[in-house]
Structure 1
Amino acid sequence: MIFYELFVRSFFDSNDDGIGDLNGITQKLDYLQTLGIDGIWLLPIMKSASFHGYTIIDFYSINPLYGNFDDLKKLIKIAHEKNIKIILDIPINHTSVKCQWFQKAINGDKKYVDYYVWQNEKTDINEKRHWDNSPIWFKYKDKYFYGLFGSSSPDLNFENPELWEEMKGIFKFWLDLGIDGFRLDAAKHIFDYNIEKGKFEYQHEKTIKFWKEMVDYIKSINENSIIVSEIWDSPEVVKKYHGLFDIEFNFPLSYEIKDAVKFQDPHLLVKGIKNTLSHYIKGNVESVSGNFLTNHDMNRLVSELNNDINKVKLAYSILFTLPGYQFIYYGEELGMKGLNLDVNFTEDSQEPFQWYENGFGPGQTEWKGCKYNPPYSNISYESERNDIDSLLNYIKTLIKFRKDNIWLSNARIDNIRNNRYFISYSLIGKNNKFDVYHNFKNQPININIKNTEIQLLNGSFVKNKNIIKLNGHSTIIIKNIKN
């Protein structure tokens, strides 16, 4: 499956207020269908105190800027008619300080006091977030609350069994509306503060128990629901959660692909494959790897690779020739740019989708200026749709290749080989075998190949008898039909 990560605010505006909305997505479903995607991952659409939507005010609502429940039902209905599934981002680790739960808690309502984590006699209010030394304890009126993700995002207290039932109600609410599944934000953080010890501490066993109960509940309502987890951590930590979710985002692989391409070092890709796709090497796939190159928290790929379009195409060639499912961040198919220079400010990677070369036209979102993707920069649907060499049409080619070879999602990886600038590996299915060759160098390399059925994915090559000269940043596939 191929998913499209979509930030509603930036995509398409149906009512001329400059802000993308649900009806705007509905109007552009033909575009997404033509692109070839199988599913849309909607970033949070609930009422929120933040532009990005991850500080929820009301889990049972829709941001009025995006539309209403009838608009959502219409989107789901028409998407399903086009065989496109809709999964929803649910950030349940915390709420906004404006959430009614928190406001009731701060005013002493016992039920909701127990929904949050508060300072006690063991608390060190000077403790910092481990990865960037940011504060995790914040004073609101006369109380200190725990907020791993900032002063406006108090963490929920999942030691409270009532909260487990509340979460089940939230999942059921959205499933009953027709949502096909969920992307679970910050999934490893459900139990990340040890109240008894009074310190930050990942408690993976508790978190796994919580998610198993939630997943079982979701599947009891819709056994075909799709559950995607965000566990942004090392391969060792991610492996603790194998088999729990349908799809696990593969963050380490994302970094290894980009660094391998950026530094022309295929050894990094070998490391990424062996460390994060070992279950595909063994042929024992418990959870599907959710492979991607960037998302809303990261730099856009073109900016990450210093505007080198050949490297960008090579990175996508790698992404689409590995087992697992692919996720594409909106606008990446156009080559949109953006750098997140501040972890607390991600607007620059969430600029409006560029439909028109001059930056204006029906449906163009305008909620913020385009610092990285200004008009007349040849980064737009209008400028790329009829250009056979555009990134947009290249991404379409890769998606078609993948959909023509669905077996690749669960293929076994074997015969991994590399040298200074080159990597090859085999993708093996029940009745198929593809040998994949990537050239990381910007100069040609020679490959000795006996087989004659070659598919070029990216770049170019010259064949002379059994010798193939594979040009720089190019990818070819040798097809073998197993007897």
Structure 2
Amino acid sequence: MRRAEISTIMNRYETRTPFKQVEWVRSIVGYQIFPDRFYNGDPGNDLKANSTDELWINEVSKGTPVFTRWDGPVTPLHCCHQYFGGDLKGVTEKLDYLKELGVGLIYLNPIFTSGSVHGYDVYDYYTVDPKFGTLDDLKTLLDEAHKRGIRVIFDFVPDHVGLGFWAFQDVYRNGPSSRYWSWFIIYKWPFKLGDSSAYKCWWGIGSLPQLNVLNKEVRQYLINVALYWLSIGFDGLRIDTPLDVIGSENFFRELREVVKSRYPDAYIVGEIWDYRPEWLRGEAFDSLMNYYLGRNILLSYAKGVLNGYTASARLSEYYAGIGVNVAGMGFNIIGSHDTSRILTDLGGGGLRDTPGNESIKRLKLLSTLQYTQPGMPVVFQGDERGVTGRQSNYDEQRYPIQWDRLNQEVFEHYKKLGELKNTIPALSTSIIHVLSTEGSILAYTRGYNDEVLVVANNALEPVAYKLPEGNWSVLYVSSGENMEVDNGSITMPPLTAIILVKEQSSTISNVTPPTFTQTSNTTTQTTAPSNNTSLTQPGEELWKTLSPVFTAVAVLAFIIVAIILIKRVRTRVDKGI
């Protein structure tokens, strides 16, 4: 075999080699915050959105923004232009609350100057929106979060901007003579602000002109924006609608290379809703927003749309398509600002409705499955309090958290899940084994030695289940019932998920949460001394050490077999066979 042929084989293998994992992701709980609707820490900035709201400059869809008390009614402008006053100081004030839930990462919806409540129509990527506070407020939030071992990622919107974006305003005023004309795709000029027929815009929405990311100057501008906010102290970025970005594949490869070269532990998440493992090959994202896992599989199972057999098959297929390194970095979300509340999806009703017992059981079953997947479970603000809300009613799922209302049962359940996620080493590995089941049962093990077992029953009646071989004990039951293993079997209550552990195995550790120190815009992690078992298991470190050896042996074996086969073929040809 020629050296060139060997080189080709090696190159093909290297493209399949897992890329470096952002290890801190796999052992924490994530929490999404929609700033205007989380908590009002500074009433002094409540009306500042009035000076930037897009409705004042839109020449096609005119209107007036609404400013409402915290418990005010939902209006037709609730999605985008009804302001309640939540801000960055409010997030800082609730950090201890988040820590109580076991949260180790905050994902902030856009906080940069924009023309709406949601912030996806950016006016200035380099400024904190005055309605949310100041740059100092942001730095305080980051510092206080890091002190508590909580990382923070920001929402990055590279595809489109708002009508007030400075470069688009220049094009609007000066037309083809504008220095920024090629930053956009303009169909006609002059035009009215908000006229979707005059320029390329996101999903045909005139208030969201798209950036021409094929333009080298635009790409560099966006990359510099990402680097700037990482230098301020953010720990990663969630990228909005990457599939809609013009020239997306090349841009995200370039963005990743630059970001990872300076911040190798920065976490990069892409908002892709369907199953697209081709984006997880080390050239774009560390994870997708795993709606496919969270909604198509886990939520469908919790609702009873999928039985256990089908859910098991889909779960197996999902993990078979991604690398083990990717599984451990999963951004595992089920509900968000873009979906109805998951409790509503499970039959809990709309805003201010009182969820029934069945929907609460389904929620607790679902969240138990979410927290025991490889990677990071991500909770949308308020889900841990039993909040409901329909997307169909002006996105009422984004309604402000009413802090005087709490479903204690749901809250205590999420606290317990956070504790288990933070203290069971097997749940911090990237390993999952989906078991073969029938009927309503879904089951899988976690950990290198299958030391944790998760079993769920989405039926309305009890179901007996024979446990895998081993001495198992019940650790947690989502429905709160008392359960015991009986002669290697267990009777699963209706709408329940349980977590079991193998006896005589070190599966639980009271791990001291990590703390962070900020020095010269570089975040370093320090862990307080502990006599307990580390979240990183020895097997994982051993695999990191031996993996190159196994790789070399496998490639060498392949080459040897190929040489033997080629020689045999040549011999047969020489003999005229």
| TM-score normalised by structure 1 residue count | 0.81
Q: Distance in 2 between matches of 1:408 and 1:396?
A: 16
Report whether the alignment pairs 1:158 with 2:176: no
Change (3 A) 1:445 1:168: same
Moved more, 84-93 or 406-415: 406-415
Tell me which of the two structures has the higher relative contact order, counting C-alpha pairs closer than 8 angstroms and 6 or more residues apart. Answer: 2
Work out whether residues 73 and 177 of structure 1, in 8 Å CA contact, stay in contact via their aligned partners in 2: yes
Letter in 1 for 2:234: I
CA drift at 1:286: 7.2
- Structure 2 segments unaligned to the other structure (5+ residues): 1-27, 47-83, 349-358, 507-538, 540-577
Report whether the alignment pairs 1:456 with 2:456: no
Letter in 1 for 2:36: R
Which of 222, 232, 238 is the matching residue for 1:167? 222
CA drift at 1:395: 0.5
Q: Distance in 2 between matches of 1:283 and 1:32?
A: 29
The equivalent of 1:303 in structure 2 is 344
CA drift at 1:141: 7.0
Q: Distance in 2 between matches of 1:410 and 1:87?
A: 22
Which of 447, 452, 463 is the matching residue for 1:434? 452
Q: Distance in 1 between matches of 2:208 and 2:196?
A: 17
Q: Distance in 2 between matches of 1:142 and 1:239?
A: 32
Change (3 A) 1:283 1:6: closer
Match of 2:461, SS state, is coil
Deviations 1:57-88 (A, max 9, x none): 11111111110001001111111111111110
Q: Distance in 1 between matches of 2:234 and 2:473?
A: 42
The equivalent of 2:439 in structure 1 is 420
Q: Distance in 1 between matches of 2:446 and 2:162?
A: 46
Which of 112, 115, 128 is the matching residue for 2:180? 112
**Residue correspondence of structure 1 range 68-217 to structure 2 within 5 A:** 68-106=134-172, 107-108=174-175, 109-119=177-187, 144-149=198-203, 150-191=205-246, 206-217=247-258
Letter in 2 for 1:4: Y
The equivalent of 1:11 in structure 2 is 38
Q: Distance in 2 between matches of 1:14 and 1:6?
A: 14
CA drift at 1:393: 0.8
Which of 465, 471, 494 is the matching residue for 1:472? 494
Letter in 2 for 1:420: G
The equivalent of 1:242 in structure 2 is 281
The equivalent of 2:132 in structure 1 is 66
Q: Higher helix fraction: Structure 1 or Structure 2? A: 2
CA drift at 1:90: 1.0
Which of 457, 465, 473 is the matching residue for 1:447? 465
CA drift at 1:140: 5.5
Letter in 2 for 1:47: T
Work out whether residues 250 and 276 of structure 1, in 8 Å CA contact, stay in contact via their aligned partners in 2: no
Match of 1:111, SS state, is coil
Q: Distance in 2 between matches of 1:464 and 1:275?
A: 32
Work out whether residues 245 and 287 of structure 1, in 8 Å CA contact, stay in contact via their aligned partners in 2: no
Change (3 A) 1:452 1:268: closer
CA drift at 1:53: 0.8
**What's the C-alpha RMSD, in Å, of the aligned pairs?**
2.4
Change (3 A) 1:283 1:30: closer
Match of 2:229, SS state, is helix
Q: Distance in 2 between matches of 1:142 and 1:71?
A: 36
Work out whether residues 279 and 285 of structure 2, in 8 Å CA contact, stay in contact via their aligned partners in 1: no
Moved more, 301-310 or 99-108: 99-108
Work out whether residues 258 and 315 of structure 1, in 8 Å CA contact, stay in contact via their aligned partners in 2: yes
Moved more, 63-72 or 432-441: 432-441
The equivalent of 1:274 in structure 2 is 316
Which of 326, 336, 352 is the matching residue for 2:400? 352
Deviations 1:276-328 (A, max 9, x none): 22256x74647722111111101101110001100011110111121121111
Larger radius of gyration: 2
CA drift at 1:99: 1.1
Deviations 1:307-358 (A, max 9, x none): 110001111011112112111100010111111117xx43x1111112113x
- Structure 1 segments unaligned to the other structure (5+ residues): 121-136, 192-205, 358-379
The equivalent of 2:293 in structure 1 is 253
| TM-score normalised by structure 2 residue count | 0.68
Match of 1:218, SS state, is helix
Change (3 A) 1:433 1:187: same
The equivalent of 2:376 in structure 1 is 325
| 4+ aligned runs moved over 6 Å, structure 1 | none
Work out whether residues 441 and 456 of structure 2, in 8 Å CA contact, stay in contact via their aligned partners in 1: yes
Letter in 1 for 2:299: K
Change (3 A) 1:188 1:141: closer
CA drift at 1:422: 0.8
